[in-house]
């Protein structure tokens, strides 16, 4: 059996799954130290299901902890960057488009050195070992041990980054080194930004992963544990210690994947209604559709694979104002159990409307009996319209699409939505996020420029697919389960030789009993 | 004395330049950052009108040529533009005291600002296209017999080249090959022209226009008013379609990214389709099989809510866009102009009809 955990801003959810069956689930408030919230929810889950810790074969966890550290500029390590690319790139040094406070929070030391590659693999200039060692010595003398290394066109050829890492390690023995080609794709500034953010989370990652481990061991769970990343695939805990930045945006991804699992649908629109906001995303072949524009995290521009999510201010705790009628975006949030009318409070919320309309039954019904029927009806219609507009904005074809409702706030929605061909409210929808973590797969990606004059298109595609498959297998996937889920070709204009950038993503199920 | 361009002006120019880029011209992000860095280091740049340039004073265009995808990876060292400029000046044998943009659409709107800041030279408020085009000879200066020669190129390693050709079409052929050898990006200096020539041959006021478009978008967003309408108002543009992207095909033909995007109509356009064909830039729009807009008029797609201009590389399934068509400069609408950049030059068997004749009421 495996356990899925979602550490959210308000609640920490956990589910116990036996194969494809949900055995039980529990919710508990998220705690400041994170680990005691996890301990609490797991204890509740094990009590309720009477499962023995020894029967747990794997634990999968989704967390927003690292995203929040960058957004709040908390617990970040001082970090330096070595960029390999001179004489190119000096017009735009590292940190060029960073928020000043974030840069200040991590020191922002950088060194530009010679090297890097052209698009076709020719060297821009020779790598100079002495120059790199000199930069490393300066970084050591600044007392910094978190180092990012970037190099021009390292996605085409990573050799110089790898070699530079060895040189830096020889000068700073315990250095935490992040290499840009292991983290990002083409686009030097964005890839380098990701490597720097990863490096500045290095020490926090070790601490947090250790505290997760301690929480599990404290409950006698000795199973391997994994953390989910932004594209809906899993990383081993050891991997997260090295690549914490890859957990960014895993939350919406998990809820969409959980929705796909619970409903059995692979192509649908998912509406996740929480306490304060709703997220709408699109499932394509069982995976979240990705955003195409550069996403900023904590003010830093990145080019990660991120789910394309539309958020709007509707949740189970949203305020309802009556004159004129307005729903949200203010919300009573986690205070709903004291502030909503049905719980004895004085705030009219969307949950009160749902209870008054007979769509939900919790709290004290008599406290909303006085509400005007026309008001209740108008409020419901407004809420549904908010969801309908968002669904329409996200869907890719005219006509109806299947819509899956998940999250605690789905009690607000009636039996029909305009634009939805089918409306699904799967069982266990309120813990879809933790389920998404529990069922996450492992993935591998290749992103490279091929010259289609030098190698036929079929062969180039096959080579990319084979490499992506190899990467998935290295992550521990069951060979039979590996499939290619995404192939993208982008012709590179102006380049001769029919240069084409090919991106291939493969995923597979993790080998757990 | 012209007016000074500050960081906010650069941000606005870069955003407006993406609208004028008609889907191509390269993402202005890198160019914008370089211009802002240069202004922070060397101070604001003076923008002068063509009337402020003496008739006999020389100006030169500074630009980057190459693959936009390479520009975001191998960024410039910073000295290339200076070297290209100095070579032009020495081959011309005359002092060149003004800088200008050859292409107001896309990244080349901001590249000349970087050099103007470094050399503390004024930038002239004009360009050679009023939009973006893929080839070197596609500038209004060509129509007035102004030669791209001497054409200089420089890379970050210190290599440079000076080209002299019998016409501007040949320049495209030779320069493209050298740019590829320089690593698919190069800085160029070309189309040296006097103030007198600029009065006649250039597209005037386009730096201010880009800035005005960018400012309008920014202000319309802040005021939560219709951004597309605001763009139309400053560009005399027409909303030719409102739709959702349902299909995109791309292929490489002769070194250019060609392709087409299919939009399914929404709102007033429900029930209709729009096919937009592009070759780096958007060139032709067909509604239900009938051509409704063509190059050289400007066809730009903007996100329906934010008014964010969308490049052909960034086109993706599901985008909801407004398609705007803006009139091109009168220089391009002459017989000579249509021969250089009309639909038939790009291989489409259709005639150019000005957008206002199709949509104006």
**Which of B18, B15, B67, B10 has the alpha carbon at shortest distance from B300?**
B18
- Tell the residue number behind the tokens 């380098």, with chain if given: A192
Query: pLDDT value at position A357?
Result: 94
Per-residue pLDDT at A108 exceeds 90? no
Q: List the CATH number of the domain containing B323.
A: 2.40.390.10
Per-residue pLDDT tens for A221-263?
A: 998 889 988 777 888 888 899 999 988 878 888 889 899 999 9
B184 vs A119, A395, A452: nearest CB: A119
Q: Is the pTM of this model over 0.80?
A: yes
Residues A48 and A162 reside in one and the same domain: no
- Asked whether residue A103 falls in the same domain as residue A169, the answer is yes
Task: Look up residue B309 and give its DSSP letter.
Answer: B
Give, for A17, the enclosing helix (H) or strand (E). Answer: strand A11-18
Q: Are residues B29 and B159 in the same domain?
A: yes
The verdict on a CB contact (< 8 Å) between A90 and B78 is yes
Q: Does B255 map to a domain?
A: yes
Q: What is the pLDDT of residues A49-66, one digit of tens each?
A: 999 999 998 899 988 778
Confirm whether A339 is domain-assigned: yes
Condensed to tens digits (0 to 9), the pLDDT of residues A18-38 reads: 988 999 999 887 777 778 889
Asked if residue B194 and residue B294 are part of one domain, the reply reads no
Q: Rounded distance, CA A210 to CA A213, Å?
A: 5
What range defines the domain where residue A137 resides?
77-200
| A287 in any annotated domain | yes
Interface contact A87-B157, CB threshold 8 A? yes
Per-residue model confidence as pLDDT tens digits over A355-373: 999 999 989 999 999 999 9
Please check whether residues A222 and A244 belong to one and the same domain: yes
- Report the complex ipTM: 0.89
Residue B160: helix, strand or coil by DSSP? Answer: strand
Sheet strands side by side (includes A146-151): A107-114, A79-86, A146-151, A176-179
Gap from B224 CA to chain A (nearest CA, Å): 16
Q: Is A235 on the interface with B (CB under 8 A)?
A: no
Query: Which of B11, B69, B188, B271 is the mutation pick for testing A, counting most A CBs within 10 A?
Result: B69
Last residue of a domain, one of A374, A396, A427: A427
Neighbour tally for B168: CB within 10 Å: 23
Tokens of B199: 């009065």
Please report the residues numbered 413 through 452 in chain A whose beta carbons come closer than 8 angstroms to any beta carbon of chain B.
452
Answer yes or no: is B17 within a domain: yes
The answer to whether residues B185 and B254 belong to one domain is no
What is the domain-level CATH number for residue B138?
A: 3.40.1610.10
Same domain (yes/no): B46, B144: yes
**pLDDT of the residue at B224:** 75
CA-based nearest residue in chain B for residue A490: B250
Tell me how close the Cα of B51 comes to any Cα of chain A, in angstroms. Answer: 33
The predicted model gives A129-152 an average pLDDT of 97
Residue where a domain terminates, one of B191, B206, B221: B206
The pLDDT, as a whole number, for residue A448 is 80
What pLDDT, on the 0 to 100 scale, is given for residue A182?
86
In the prediction, which pLDDT does A119 show?
A: 82
| Total of domains in chain A | 4
Q: Would you say residue A435 lies in a domain?
A: no
Whether residue A421 sits in one domain with residue A305: yes
| pLDDT for residue A180 is more than 80 | yes
A6 close to A62: Cβ distance less than 8 angstroms: yes
Q: pLDDT confidence of A493, banded at 50, 70, 90?
A: low
In a domain, B216, yes or no: no
Query: Distance (Å, rounded) from C-alpha B216 to C-alpha B19?
Result: 12
Nearest Cβ partner for B75 among A188, A395, A495:
A188
How many domains in chain B?
Answer: 2
Point out the residue among A153, A489, A499 whose CB comes nearest to the CB of B73.
Answer: A153
Residue A423: which residues within 8 A CB-CB, separation 6 or more?
A403, A405, A413, A415, A416, A417
B233-262 burial code (b ≥16 CB/10 A, e <16): ebbebbbbbbbbbbebebebeebbbbbbbb
Percent of chain A clearing pLDDT 90 (strictly above): 51
Which chain B residues are closer than 8 Å to A87 by Cβ? 77, 79, 156-158
Using a CB-CB distance cutoff of 8 angstroms, which residues of chain B are in contact with residue A398?
A: 244, 264, 266, 270
In a domain, B217, yes or no: no
CA distance A291 to chain B (A): 9
Q: Which of A408, A492, A399 is nearest to A450 (CA)?
A: A492
- Subunit contact B320:A393, Cβ cutoff 8 A: yes
Residue A451 neighbours by CB distance under 10 Å: 17
**Residue A187 token pair:** 């686009």
Q: Are residues A414 and A463 in the same domain?
A: no
pLDDT of residue A310: 82
Q: Helix, strand or coil for residue A410?
A: helix
Q: Are residues A61 and A186 part of one domain? A: no
Burial of A207-231, coded b for 16+ CB within 10 Å and e otherwise, reads ebbebbbebbeebebebebbbbbbb
| CB-count exposure of residue A467 (10 Å: 0-12, 13-18, 19+) | middle
pLDDT for residue A97: 92
Residue B221 lies in a domain: no
In total, the C-beta contacts within 8 angstroms joining chain A to chain B are 132
Per the CB < 8 Å rule, is A398 touching B264?
yes
A312 touches chain B (CB under 8 A): no
**Helices and strands (H and E) in chain B: how many:** 12, 17
Provide the shortest C-alpha distance from residue A125 to chain B (in Å).
8
CB contact under 8 A, A116 and B316: no
Cα of A39 to nearest chain B Cα, Å: 42
Same domain, B202 and B248: no
Under the banding of pLDDT at 50, 70 and 90, the label for residue A397 is low
CATH number, residue A346: 3.30.420
Q: Which H or E run includes A379?
A: helix A373-394
One domain for residues B23 and B94 = yes
Quick check: A116 and B74 CB within 8 A?
yes
The reply to whether A6 and A92 lie within a common domain is: no
Confidence at residue B71, expressed as pLDDT on a 0 to 100 scale = 87
Q: Does residue B214 lie within any of the structural domains?
A: no
Q: Residue A250: its pLDDT value, please?
A: 82
Cβ–Cβ below 8 Å for B255 and A119: no
Question: Which of B252, B257, B263 should we substitute to test contact with A (largest number of A Cβ atoms within 10 Å)?
Answer: B252
CA distance to partner chain B, nearest, from residue A77 (Å):
27
Q: In this complex, do B72 and A493 lie within 8 Å of one another by their Cβ atoms?
A: no
One domain, residues B176 and B248:
no
Range of the domain at B275: 230-359
Same domain, A268 and A327: yes
Q: A443-483 pLDDT, tens per residue?
A: 888 888 888 888 888 899 899 999 999 988 987 788 988 98
Residues with pLDDT less than 50, chain B: none
Shortest Cα–Cα distance, A3 to chain B (Å): 35
- DSSP H stretches of helix in B21-150: 29-42, 68-71, 80-92, 111-119, 140-143
Do residues B178 and B293 share a domain?
no
* Residue A63: predicted pLDDT: 84
């Amino acid at each position: 059996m495996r356990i899925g955990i979602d550490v959210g801003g308000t609640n920490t959810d956990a589910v116990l799954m036996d194969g494809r069956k949900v055995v039980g689930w529990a919710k508990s408030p998220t705690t400041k130290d994170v680990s005691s919230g996890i301990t609490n929810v797991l204890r509740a889950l094990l009590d309720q299901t009477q499962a023995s810790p020894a029967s747990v074969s794997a634990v999968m966890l989704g967390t927003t902890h690292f995203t929040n550290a960058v957004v709040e500029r908390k617990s970040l390590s001082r970090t330096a960057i070595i960029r390999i690319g001179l004489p190119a790139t000096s017009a735009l040094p590292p940190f060029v488009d960073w928020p000043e406070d974030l840069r200040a929070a991590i020191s922002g030391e950088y060194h530009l050195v010679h090297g890097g590659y052209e698009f076709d693999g020719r060297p821009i200039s020779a790598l100079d070992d002495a120059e790199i060692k000199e930069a490393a010595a300066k970084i050591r003398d600044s007392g910094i041990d978190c180092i990012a290394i970037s190099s021009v066109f390292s996605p085409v050829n990573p050799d110089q980054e790898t070699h530079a890492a060895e040189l830096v390690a020889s000068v700073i023995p315990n250095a935490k080194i992040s290499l840009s080609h292991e983290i990002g794709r083409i686009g030097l500034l964005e890839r380098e930004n990701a490597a720097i953010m990863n490096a500045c989370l290095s020490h926090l990652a070790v601490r947090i992963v250790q505290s997760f481990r301690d929480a599990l061991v404290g409950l006698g769970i000795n199973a391997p544990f994994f953390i989910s990343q932004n594209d809906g695939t899993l990383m081993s805990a050891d991997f997260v210690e090295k690549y914490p930045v890859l957990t960014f945006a895993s939350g919406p991804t998990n809820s969409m994947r959980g929705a796909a699992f619970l409903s059995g649908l692979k192509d649908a629109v998912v509406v996740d209604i929480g306490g304060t906001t709703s997220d709408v995303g699109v499932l394509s072949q069982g995976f979240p559709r990705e955003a195409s524009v550069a996403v900023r995290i904590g003010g830093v521009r990145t080019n990660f694979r991120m789910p394309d999510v539309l958020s709007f201010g509707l949740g189970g705790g949203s305020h309802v104002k009556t004159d004129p009628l307005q729903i949200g975006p203010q919300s009573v949030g986690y205070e709903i159990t004291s502030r909503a009318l049905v719980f004895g409070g004085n705030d009219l919320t969307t949950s009160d409307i749902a209870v008054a309309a007979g769509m939900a039954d919790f709290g004290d019904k008599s406290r909303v009996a006085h509400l005007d029927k026309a008001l209740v009806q108008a409020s419901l219609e407004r809420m549904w319209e908010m969801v309908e507009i968002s669904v329409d904005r996200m869907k890719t074809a005219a006509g109806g699409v299947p819509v899956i409702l998940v999250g605690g706030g789905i009690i607000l929605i009636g039996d029909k939505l305009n634009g939805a061909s089918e409306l699904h409210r799967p069982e266990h929808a309120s813990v879809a996020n933790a389920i998404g973590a529990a069922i996450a797969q492992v993935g591998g990606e290749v992103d490279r420029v091929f010259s289609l004059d030098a190698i036929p298109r079929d062969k180039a595609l096959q080579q990319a697919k084979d490499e992506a498959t190899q990467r998935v297998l290295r992550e521990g996937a069951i060979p039979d389960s590996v499939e290619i889920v995404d192939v993208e070709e982008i012709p590179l204009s102006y380049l001769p030789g029919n240069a084409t950038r090919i991106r291939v993503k493969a995923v597979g199920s993790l080998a757990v009993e | 004395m012209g007016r000074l361009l500050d960081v906010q002006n650069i941000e606005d120019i870069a955003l407006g330049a993406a609208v004028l880029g008609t889907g191509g011209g390269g993402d202005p992000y890198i160019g914008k950052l370089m211009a802002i860095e240069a202004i922070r280091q060397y101070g604001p740049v003076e923008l002068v009108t063509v009337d402020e340039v003496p008739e006999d004073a020389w100006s030169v265009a500074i630009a980057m040529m190459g693959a936009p995808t390479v520009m975001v990876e191998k960024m410039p060292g910073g000295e290339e533009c200076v070297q290209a400029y100095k070579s032009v000046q020495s081959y011309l044998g005359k002092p060149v005291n003004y800088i200008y943009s050859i292409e107001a659409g896309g990244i080349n709107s901001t590249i000349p600002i970087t050099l103007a800041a470094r050399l503390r030279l004024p930038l002239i408020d004009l360009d050679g296209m009023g939009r973006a085009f893929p080839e070197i000879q596609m500038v209004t200066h060509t129509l007035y017999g102004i030669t791209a020669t001497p054409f200089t190129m420089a890379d970050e390693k210190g290599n440079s080249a000076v080209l002299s050709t019998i016409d501007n079409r040949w320049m495209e052929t030779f320069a493209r090959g050298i740019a590829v050898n320089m690593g698919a990006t190069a800085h160029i200096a070309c189309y040296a022209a006097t103030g007198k020539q600029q009065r006649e041959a250039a597209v005037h006021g386009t730096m201010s226009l880009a800035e005005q478009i960018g400012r309008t978008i920014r202000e319309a967003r802040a005021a939560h008013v219709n951004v597309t309408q605001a763009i139309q108002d400053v560009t005399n543009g027409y909303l030719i379609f409102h739709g959702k992207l349902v299909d995109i095909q791309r292929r490489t033909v002769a070194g250019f990214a060609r392709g087409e995007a299919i939009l399914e109509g929404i709102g007033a356009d429900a029930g209709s389709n729009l096919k937009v064909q592009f070759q780096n830039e958007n060139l032709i729009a067909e509604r239900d099989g009938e051509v409704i807009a063509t190059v050289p008029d400007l066809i730009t797609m903007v996100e329906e809510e934010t008014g964010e201009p969308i490049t052909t590389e960034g086109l993706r399934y599901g985008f909801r866009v407004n398609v705007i068509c803006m009139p091109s400069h009168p220089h391009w609408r002459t017989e000579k102009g249509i021969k250089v950049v009309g639909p038939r030059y790009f291989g489409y068997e259709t005639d150019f009809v000005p957008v206002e004749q199709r949509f104006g009421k």
